[in-house]
Structure 1
Amino acid sequence: MADRWRWSRQQVFTMVAMSSVNFSSMICYSILAPFFPSEARRKGVSQTIIGLIFGWYALCVLLVSLLLGKYIVQIGAKFMIISGIFVSAVCTMLFGLLDRTSSGMPFILLCFLVRSVNAVGFAAAVTSSFAILAKVFPNNIATVMGCVEVFTGLGLILGPPLGGWLYQSFGFEIPFIALGCLLFAMVPFNICLLPKLDADESESSFLRLCSCVRILLICFALFTLSSGLGFLDATLALFAVDKFSMSSGSVGLLMMGLSLPYGAASPVFGFFSDKFPHLRRWMMVTGGMITAMGFCLLGPVPVLHVTSELGLPENLSTLGLVSGLFSAVWSAGMFFGPVVGGYVAQQVNFQSASGVQGGITFIAALLLGVFYIYEEFQKKRSLQCKGNGSPADPDATTPLLNSTNPS
């Protein structure tokens, strides 16, 4: 048990590298939210199109993540993450020059173009980072992911207030140029720290991965949660400015209310997930319910691990598929949230859009909870028929998508 928590030099370097990737990627992603909607509106862009600009990025990540997750072995995880950071750095700096373009259609088209290429780099970095972590830390991945999510949370925390302050102090260009330079610095840093991973190909496929009902329900829950974040990115800034006349810097501080608890709680829940694996499913259900309640109160609304059944080997190829699916589903939600949420907010109001988002999240959590209750019922009925003792929770004893346990 002690060896499980004793990290090798390779694991420490990997942890540092992946934390830096997540921090720099997320700070560049979240910097837009406080000031870009207002800047785009001054360029003659409607709220629906603003939502599309945010959502298009996620849609591109969705499509590219599936492709990269499938071919991560052929491309190479280390090359994928380093090239992804480099592409994101270039595009981040280019995005800062878009305020020099003409208002209207030229501005909109260039936003879509730069965001599309940036999404390719982001997808490469994030998809490979998840796969690398799962490969290097096979025994305590939940705790490690929780620790890495601290830096994800820090990026989300610092991005909005830093972006708002830089925008107020220096204008539109400086925030993107500064953070583009930060991403450039991550390239040689990760070249030195990241290990080279041995990879074996397998016959894994996304179709086989998605053949499990549990995976589909978890993906739906993940979709609703990410769509909520995307919805807030595209609409909260305009709502705060219109309703409360808040500045860009103040909006950035407001968004810390979402990111700060996330960053603080991630390692705690990651540790408990590894320590008490049988509670993982109920953590997802409870978290979904609480999130749904939070969205309904935000306006407020006007009226008020997968088991061996798949038989997939636990190698870099399968981990790439799982990582790609995670990134794809997350990005699907990040596309749906800003586009649909932005449209509803424009046609009705922010309060109603927030209520719709909360309702979708509640449905996902409810379906997941009903499915887990059904599983428990089936397990108990099977035990009564066999007359055996209670077996260990399969989620607690079997590695993700692994059909065999090493002797």
Structure 2
Amino acid sequence: MQTAPNFEENKTYIFYLVMALIFADTVLYGTIVPLIPVYTEELGLTTLTIGIIFAAYSLGLLLFSMPMGILAERLGYKKVFAGGLSFLILSCLLYGTVNNGLFLAFCRFIQGVAAATTWTAGLAMIALLYPRQQGQKLGLVLAAMGVGTILGPPVGGLLYKYLGYRLMFFALALVFAAMLTVVWKLDFSFPGMVKAEAGQRSRKKLALPSNLLWLCVVVVFASSSFGMLEIIMPNYMHRHFGLDSLQIGLLFGLMGIVHGVSDAAVGLWSDRLGYSLFVYWGLLTAAAFFPLLALAPNLLLLSIAFTLLGVAIGAAITPSQPLMYEVVVAEPSRLENGGPGLAYGIYNTCFSLGMFFGPMLGGLLDRYLGLLPGLLVFSGLFVAAAFLIKFKVNKISGKTA
């Protein structure tokens, strides 16, 4: 067994490894974006086909988040991390040999499976390492994710320009191979880990409490909002304010930066004041900001409303992760029904559901209702989600909404 100083030092190493993994995964996710014209021209793909191919990532994340969370607790987190990195290496190598749309979709799906593995195991690991600081630590991880999301497209463009298509993915595979080496060298054994894994091996059945099911609905609603905004806002910004692609990208980037920075602060304060409190008020604040996007009379006010909306959505999403952990494992009677791996497996499944359906819902609302009515529908969904938090989910936290 590790001594206390070594254990604390190892905790820090593992935490930064999780941050690096999620950062690298989101960078890889974004590197594909500037290659869309290449795929369109060389593989003869249409915009619809590209959309379906990109959805394969969400499908992999959706289908494998729960199984990977359970495997992490049964087989051990080191093995699952290694498996996730192996999938990332495989996806990079496959990307480098793509020659048709179906194969590209398969690569995207494998990448989604890898994300399900690293994300679920990584967030569960943070819950085990920092049970009373989950909000703070998850906020930092999400900030790293935000930076990776912003850097992904320019990194992809630069790698493609200077290395070429095939070599750029081989270079990325080497980066993930180096991370795999680090994973095998790190010591993942500590008392909390052993207990969690042993508890999962004795689990005989899965019984989900009702407040967990309602929290799943809340997470799906909240996570669908980003995909919805990515579908309906760019055309509106172009038509009404004359923004070009670069300017629209910068505005979304500004939202992402502020969202990432605020996540760290939200995580810290939600540990102190209560997770459900932040989720509740984040949902209500976001509900108030949605219609302002359509009502803003000028670009400055639109930019302010758009950025503050990102902060509000982050205030709801960031603490919803440790809140789900509390719902699943905080009470002794529920420990037999799941652990951190299960909790974050469920969370990632719900989040990927929102990612999958958000763009489609946004497109339908924009087409049949228009911008303002469509945004009002989302306001209604967020208000309903806030009431679910207050009256259906908020049974396990001593700090109420």
2:106 to 103, 106, 113: 113
SS at match of 1:115: helix
The alpha carbon displacement at 1:163 in A equals 2.4
Distance 1:178 1:333, change over 3 A: farther
Q: 1:296 to 1:176 in 2, by over 3 A?
A: farther
Question: In the TM superposition, what is the alpha-carbon distance from 1:366 to its structure 2 partner?
Answer: 1.0
SS of 1:138's partner is coil
The residue type equivalent to 1:77 in the other structure is Y
Query: Is 1:134 equivalent to 2:122 in the alignment?
Result: no
Q: Structure 2 CA distance, aligned partners of 1:111 and 1:38?
A: 14
Please say if residues 206 and 321 of structure 1, whose CA atoms lie closer than 8 Å, have aligned partners that are also in contact.
no
Structure 1 position 88, deviation (Å): 0.8
1:207 positional shift? 5.5
Aligned to 2:259: 262
Give the Cα separation in 2 of the matches to 1:272 and 1:290: 22
Contact 1:48 1:339 in 2 (8 A): no
Q: Would the aligned equivalents of 1:51 and 1:338 in 2 still touch at CA under 8 Å? A: no
CA distance 1:364–1:78, shift in 2 (3 Å): farther
- CA displacement 1:285-306 (0-9 Å, x = unmatched): 2354267447657999xxxx24
Say whether the 8 Å CA contact 1:240–1:246 is kept in structure 2: no
Q: CA deviation at 1:255?
A: 4.0
Give matches, 1:1-400, under 5 Å.
8-33=8-33, 35-42=34-41, 43-98=43-98, 101=99, 107-167=100-160, 172-173=165-166, 175-193=168-186, 195-196=188-189, 197-198=193-194, 199-202=197-200, 208-209=207-208, 211-212=209-210, 214-231=211-228, 246=245, 253-277=250-274, 279-286=277-284, 288-289=286-287, 292-293=290-291, 305=323, 306-307=326-327, 311-313=333-335, 317-339=338-360, 341=362, 348=367, 352=370, 356=374, 358-359=375-376, 361-374=378-391, 394-396=396-398
Amino acid at match of 1:215: L
Report the AA paired with residue 385 of structure 2.
Answer: L
TM-score (norm 1): 0.73
Cα distance change on mapping 1:363 and 1:336 into 2, 3 Å: same
**Cα 1:292–1:174, aligned 2, differ >3 Å: closer, same or farther?**
farther
In the TM superposition, what is the alpha-carbon distance from 1:14 to its structure 2 partner? Answer: 1.8
| Counterpart residue number, 2:309 | none
Return the offset for 1:168.
5.3
Query: Quick one: distance in 2 between partners of 1:168 and 1:55?
Result: 26
Query: Which residue in 2 is equivalent to 1:403?
Result: none
Contact residue 216 and residue 347 of structure 2 kept, 8 A: yes
Structure 1 counterpart SS, 2:53: helix
The residue type paired with residue 348 of structure 2 is S
Q: Specify whether residues 235 and 205 from structure 1 end up closer, same or farther in structure 2 by C-alpha distance, changes over 3 A only.
A: farther
Task: Tell me which amino acid in the other structure corresponds to 2:135.
Answer: A
State the AA in 2 paired with 1:153: G
Q: Is the 8 A contact 1:56 1:112 kept in 2?
A: yes
Return the structure number with greater helix share.
2
One-letter identity of the residue aligned with 2:267: G
Provide Cα deviations, 1:173-216, integer angstroms capped at 9, x if missing partner: 4554443332222111232335233122346689623x32x433
Query: TM-score w.r.t. structure 2 length?
Result: 0.74
- Describe the shift of the 1:309–1:137 C-alpha distance in structure 2 as closer, same or farther (beyond 3 A): closer
CA distance in 2, matches of 1:90, 1:344: 38
Secondary structure of 1:134's aligned partner: helix
Is the 8 Å Cα contact of residues 221 and 382 (structure 2) preserved in structure 1? Answer: no
Q: What amino acid is the match of 2:272?
A: K
Q: Check the 8 A contact 2:294/2:371 in 1, yes or no.
A: no
- When residues 234 and 163 of structure 1 are mapped into structure 2, their CA distance, relative to the original with a 3 A threshold, is farther
User: Mean Cα displacement is larger for which, 116-125 or 222-231?
Assistant: 222-231
Q: Secondary structure, in 3 states, of the residue corresponding to 2:339?
A: helix
C-alpha separation between the residues in 1 aligned to 2:364 and 2:166?
Answer: 28
In structure 1, the residue matched to 2:313 is none
Corresponding residue for 1:104?
none
Q: Which runs of 5+ in 2 are unaligned?
A: 1-6, 303-322
C-alpha distance in structure 2 between counterparts of 1:233 and 1:205, whole Å: 42
CA distance in 2, matches of 1:244, 1:93: 37
Cα contact 1:37–1:238 (8 A) shared by 2: no
**CA, structure 1 residues 37+339, in 2 after alignment: closer, same or farther (shift >3 Å)?**
farther
Q: Rate the CA distance shift 1:343–1:116 in 2: closer, same or farther, 3 A.
A: farther
Question: How many pairs align?
Answer: 356
- Structure 1 residue runs of 5 or longer lacking an equivalent are 1-6, 102-106, 380-392, 399-407
